[in-house]
Amino acid sequence: MGCKKGPIQLENDKSFWGLYEKGETIGRGHFAKVKLVRERESGEFFAAKILDKSLEEHQEDYESMMREFDVLRSLHHKNIVNLHQAYESQSSLILVCQLATGGELMHRIAEDNEVYTESEARYHLRTITEAIGFMHTDGVVHRDLKPENILLSDKTSEAHILVADFGLGRFVESQQTKMDTVCGTHHYLAPELVKCDRGELETYDKSVDVWGIGLIAFIMLFGYNPFLRDSNMATHEAIVTCKYAFPKDDNISKCAKDLIKRMLCLDAKKRITVEQALAHPFFAEPGPGDGSDALSVNQNGVRSVMKEFNARRAVMKLTGMRGKNRRASEEMAPDAPTLAAAGAKDDKKSSPAKGRSVMTRRGKSNSEEVQNIAAKASK
């Protein structure tokens, strides 16, 4: 449907629940909760982000969510989560968005039984890069690109990628517009955002999204975040010094590594643009022997490494660590909700993803395994 004007004004919250059937809470952020809802008229499922306006401390949050509304209603792209409708009452602001029942792309990759190749990664990365390019052309910067915000539309093999969570998105007047708000998620911040936080820089620009794509590309091809350390301070230091290295033993192409180097460039002015990235040889059709073998790192399949990385993220969430590692970014449930699973007819083509293990076959903890691989790469 989309929204061309402001939120629909309601007399009270009861009016909203007259339009939608309430389901489970499927996500919580710093200032809003996300509910699974079913539109009574159409029977379609959506995700409703709900802000309680009655709390005085939510005034700034209200302004942020209105900015998210403005961003979402301007973006209409197959690979960007769609805003269905927005509502406002005296006590609540509600954004009703497309429901991505397929969960995270990284989870699907790690749990799939098919051979995971560079060609598959190339396809996904091209889709993500094109979506971000569309946003930039439309004057929007995401500012919080990470695995949690790259979702799948449904559980079928035909599912398409959806870039989600525009809570930190912002309009920019021109390609050169500068921003100064420090935001995002600690483990995925671009160097200039860390420097702004430290007072070493005053502004940054849309190139922070290119860094985000580059880091997603690294994770998608190698299975882990090369900057992740035991503390936020150590992670920030690794980011601002751009301290990372490719594993000594892997079968990822030199072309892919070159693109990552150009995206994960410490100097934002020298960092490749989205347009330049899409023109990079990596996104051309693969040549003989390029990208047809299962990806491996240090004699481990990238799919298994990524499974460990996903498990580590899950453990961090369960132990409450992720709450400390976020800056005003929405927390979303990774899997399809119960009510949606019961009613989503399109999901019958594939079986649900298997449960994730937090231990490797050798008995090591997921955290230890991922850290060992990262350590080997940095030596």
DSSP-assigned letter for residue 95: E
Specify whether the CB–CB gap between 204 and 267 falls below 8 A: no
25: amino acid identity, one letter: T
Cα(234)–Cα(64) distance, rounded to whole angstroms?
Answer: 30
Does residue 144 carry a catalytic annotation? yes
- Write the CA distances from 368 to 117, 149, 358, integer angstroms: 25, 25, 11
Phi then psi for residue 46, to 5 deg, are -145, 170
Specify whether the CB–CB gap between 157 and 350 falls below 8 A: yes
Specify whether the CB–CB gap between 107 and 317 falls below 8 A: no
From 61, 70, 144, 250, the catalytic residue: 144
Give start and end residues of each alpha helix (H) in the chain: 13-19, 59-74, 105-111, 118-137, 191-198, 207-222, 232-240, 254-263, 274-278, 302-318, 321-324, 338-343, 366-378
3-state secondary structure of 272: coil
Cα(53)–Cα(77) distance, rounded to whole angstroms?
Answer: 30
Cα(212)–Cα(147) distance, rounded to whole angstroms?
Answer: 10
Active-site positions?
A: 144
